[in-house]
Amino acid sequence: MSILGATAGELVKRLDRGDVTSIDVTTAYLEAIAAADGKVNAFLHVNRDKALEQARAIDEKRRRGQCVGALGGLPVAIKDVICTQGEPTTCGSRMLERFVPPYDAHVISRLREADAVLIGRTNMDEFAMGSSTENSAYKTTSNPWDLTRTPGGSSGGSAAAVAACMAPLALGSDTGGSIRQPAGFCGVVGMKPTYGRVSRYGLVAYASSLDQIGPFANDVGGAALLLETIAGHDHRDSTSVAAAVPEYSRTVEEPLTGLRIGIAKEHFVSGLDQQVEAAIRNALEVYRSLGAEIKEVSLPHSKYAVAVYYIVAPSEASSNLARYDGVHYGHRAAHFDNMIDMYCASRAEGFGAEVKRRIMLGTYALSAGYYDAYYLKALKVRRLIRNDFDAAFREVDVIASPVAPTPAFKIGELVNDPLAMYLSDIYTISANLAGLPGISIPAGFSQTNLPIGLQLLAPPFEEERLLRAARMFERETDWHRRRPASAPG
């Protein structure tokens, strides 16, 4: 099997046996990036020499008989919202065009300890605000399955990199579906852990009560391995939970007996593409054949999720992005008359249209006279959404749904219709509001050969259950083994 066609787990085994070296693997992916990324545009920054230097150091550790980390020389692509010492971290924005962090995010430190090779920085919607990666200030990423289509967002670059065989693993961030939706659109596995499972230290904040870092991989085992690497308590993040991290990569192959899968009636209503619904129904039949019980549940407040999200998230963004004022770091306008003018000009030049829209929405919702009517009410409904899930999980082990209402839409199709764009996250937003873990796995293709994703959700800190349930389906199908024709190798 070629290096590019292998899963992360298969590559780690080959590296451990000495069949290939980290230099071999890293070089293969660097060549794939050189061959394919001119069309896909998944990467914002690739430092070939630095990646090869990391690979060479890991190979030398092996030659000396030293213990090598769990990733053992495997390349990992990083969404450009996660701080990496000495590497540009732009968040897809002109505001941070020249920002080079002086420190590593917690997850980057974990990757280094696990002997990963940091192969490049991936494109994204500016400050993670978007569902198509069209809001990047630098380039538009294409879906490897159809270059006229979006890869989803905001972690579209990471999803496209894995789908196009330019990286075996990648990190993304998920605030309202920004890992799961692009994973579904690109036909790869993408997982949002429970809020608090992975440290947010070094993740440039969008909405602090919603953001979570998670893995992309070309199979469930790879996602389990990468999550196991990055999860765990970090005292520098006050929301990081001091809970033991299971050995996900060891237990992922163990099927779940007596699995109860919930189907929310609210997820199968008008607006859901018929081909997407058919793929999800077929996936449920696979589970049924494995002995799972399929049971209807209700999430009555899910119809408010989009409205709640677009009050809570922009409000937190309004606060978080206030730091970019042209004074401390980030873009500063070249011409201004006074300090207030400098603030206004710097932010007007540095932020794109969608970021400005969300800052204004959030500032309005938090303003005097509107806080109680909008933000406070949204928080109350957020609690009701979580209560719905708590009640449902007393009856079922996981909840299954589509990842998105349609397959990947065309680039430019929704860019001038913000509401339609926001609705593409209608099935993913609730998990962030409730703090739940969720995973997207490949579950079929449309008639035009576009991937369709199945979403599974579980109770808080039940990532092990989620991964095992996802692997049960994956083991019975070959959707995850399919690669786009545009992929190298």
Residue type, 295: K
Q: What is the CA radius of gyration of the chain?
A: 21
Sign of CA dihedral 60, 65, 69, 73: positive
Q: Nearest CA to 128 among 308, 313, 306?
A: 313
Beta bridge partners of 454: 402, 441
The whole-angstrom separation of Cα 21 and Cα 28 is: 11
Strands 260-264 and 293-297: parallel
Which one from 178, 249, 424, 440 is the annotated catalytic residue?
178
Q: Which residues contact 372 (CB under 8 A, 6 or more apart)?
A: none
Which one from 79, 109, 199, 440 is the annotated catalytic residue?
79
309: how many CB neighbours lie within 10 A of its CB?
Answer: 26
The whole-angstrom separation of Cα 119 and Cα 258 is: 41
DSSP letter, residue 94:
G
Which one from 93, 136, 142, 154 is the annotated catalytic residue?
154
SS3 143: strand
| Lookup: tokens for 472 | 């049960």
| Lookup: tokens for 40 | 């896909």
Q: Is 303 a catalytic residue?
A: no
DSSP letter, residue 423:
G
CB 138 within 8 A of CB 105: no
Three-class DSSP labels, 245-287: CCCHHHHCCCCCCCCEEEEEHHHCCCCCCHHHHHHHHHHHHHH
Give the Å distances, CA to CA, from 458 to 136, 309, 379: 32, 20, 22
Q: Is 154 a catalytic residue?
A: yes
The whole-angstrom separation of Cα 154 and Cα 144 is: 16
Q: Nearest CA to 457 among 432, 431, 476, 479?
A: 431
DSSP letter, residue 413:
S
Whose tokens are 């219709």? That residue is: 417
Q: Nearest CA to 191 among 141, 155, 165, 157?
A: 155
383: how many CB neighbours lie within 10 A of its CB?
Answer: 11
Q: Is 178 a catalytic residue?
A: yes
Query: Angle at Cα 385 formed by Cα 383 and Cα 387, nearest 5°?
Result: 70
Indicate which residues carry an active-site annotation: 79, 154, 178
